């Protein structure tokens, strides 16, 4: 699997260590790909972030690169965030039809209720909380299981339908989360914000 964060960080490391990648060269590269750098004396980090994103997008569209995940919780993403510092991490232009480093496990209870919980990739233990405050986990989270000794209130609980976070702007995500007592960092990428929101829901 190839993550967006890893590919981007690899590019940044190469450009920072190769003398030919001056601001002028990067701006020319951006122009070739139809990306406009409005300010030629902009911070080098901002230029690199914008141009590297355009390079990845172009490579994906040409079929030269395949991205299978965002890598929002990876070391490379942390490196990139530290690199950008107070400038903040720009939202990627690349559109991927994948969730932000999470997947959901659906399971059914004795009463017929089916629900799901987001989990980090590679995490197969299905831990969840019931209305009575009981928290427990199950190996192989997508296997059906039963709870004979627990009190379930699912009959009285209306299933809450979540909006499609990927179609929302960062501002809308931030406001939606804040209404529910969840604080997000709008300086992060939208993918990172969605991952953090899924984690706290």
Distance CA 181, CA 176 (A): 9
Look at the chain and report how many structural domains it folds into. 3
Tell me if 56 is assigned to some domain. yes
Domain with 39 in it: 4-87
Q: What pLDDT was estimated at residue 137? A: 54
For residue 96, give the 3-state DSSP assignment. coil
* 89-120 residue pLDDT tens: 888 888 876 654 444 344 455 555 554 444 44
Least confident of 6-10, 52-56, 147-151: 147-151
Co-location of 153 and 178 in the same domain? no
Cα 10 from Cα 14, distance rounded (Å): 6
Which residue, 37, 197, 171, 4, is CA-closest to 118?
Answer: 197
Both 9 and 54 in a single domain?
yes
Residue 123 lies in a domain: yes
Is 80 found in the same domain as 47?
yes
Between 80 and 155, the more confident residue is 80
Residues 201 and 145 grouped into a single domain: no
Q: pLDDT at residue 154 above 60? A: no
Q: Which helix (H) or strand (E) holds 113?
A: none
pLDDT number for residue 10:
95
Q: Are 17 and 58 in contact (CB under 8 A)?
A: no
Tell me if 94 is assigned to some domain.
no
Asked if residue 64 belongs to a domain, the reply is yes
Q: What rounded mean pLDDT belongs to the chain?
A: 76
Q: How far apart are CA 92 and CA 80, in angstroms?
A: 13
187 located within any domain: yes
Phi, psi for 191 (deg, rounded to 5): -60, -40
Estimate to the nearest angstrom the gap between the alpha carbon of 5 and the chain centroid: 10
This model's pTM is above 0.95: no
Q: Give the model's pLDDT for residue 78.
A: 94
Whether residues 137 and 173 fall in one domain: no
Distance in angstroms (rounded) separating the CA atoms of residues 177 and 93 = 23
The rounded percent of the chain whose pLDDT value lies above 70 is 66
CA distances from 121 to 62, 72, 180 (A): 27, 11, 25
**pLDDT 10s digits, 124-150:** 445 555 555 555 555 444 555 555 544
Helices (H), the chain: 4-17, 23-32, 44-62, 75-84, 170-179, 190-200
Q: Which of 77-81, 163-167, 169-173, 193-197 has the highest mean pLDDT?
A: 77-81
pLDDT of residue 12: 94
């Amino acid at each position: 699997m190839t993550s967006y964060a890893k590919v981007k960080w690899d590019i940044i490391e190469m450009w920072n260590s190769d003398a030919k990648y001056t601001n002028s060269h990067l701006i020319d590269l951006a122009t070739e790909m139809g990306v406009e750098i409005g300010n030629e004396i902009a911070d080098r980090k901002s230029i690199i972030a914008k141009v590297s994103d355009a390079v990845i997008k172009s490579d994906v569209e040409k079929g030269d690169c395949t991205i299978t995940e965002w890598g929002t919780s990876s070391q490379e993403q942390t490196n990139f965030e530290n690199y950008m510092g107070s400038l903040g991490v720009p939202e990627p232009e690349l559109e991927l039809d994948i969730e932000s480093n999470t997947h959901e496990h659906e399971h059914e209870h004795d009463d017929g209720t089916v629900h799901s919980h987001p989990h980090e990739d590679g995490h197969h233990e299905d831990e969840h909380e019931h209305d009575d405050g009981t928290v427990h986990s199950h190996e192989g989270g997508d296997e059906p299981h039963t709870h004979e000794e627990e009190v379930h209130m699912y009959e009285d609980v209306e299933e809450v339908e979540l909006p499609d976070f990927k179609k929302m702007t960062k501002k809308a995500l931030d406001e939606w989360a804040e209404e529910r007592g969840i604080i997000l960092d709008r300086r992060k990428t939208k993918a990172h914000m969605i991952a953090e929101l899924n984690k706290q829901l």
